[in-house]
Amino acid sequence: MLSVFKDTTVVGAEEIECQNVSEVFNCLHVGMSNRQVGWVTAQQQQCCSHSLFTLTLEQQWIVGKYCKVIQLITNDEGIDSGGSNL
């Protein structure tokens, strides 16, 4: 279970550290494959699935003769609120 917002958690969500772009795309592919459709109300109406992901890119490099470490962290969030209707 992963806490997404202040009062919202997602059961089954996890944080995965990737070392390269190929691993990132693999995680996105696995996540898209694991989407599920739920049911709403007693009438068993299909509900579309939604996806949410956060991508944090962390870069570090060394510059200068004193080997100063520079660090850059970028966050990006993606939401597919339409999802797939099965």
Q: Contact at 8 Å (CB) between 47 and 38?
A: yes
Q: One-letter amino acid identity for 51?
A: S
pLDDT tens by residue, 35-64: 666 655 555 555 666 677 788 888 899 999
Let me know if 66 is exposed, middle or buried by CB neighbors in 10 A (0-12, 13-18, 19+).
exposed
Look up the pTM and report it: 0.54
Q: Is the dihedral of CA 60, 24, 20, 4 positive or negative?
A: positive
Q: Choose among 29, 4, 21: nearest CA to 57.
A: 21
Domain segments of the chain: what residues? Answer: 2-80
pLDDT tens by residue, 19-35: 888 998 898 888 777 76
CA distance 32 to 80: 11
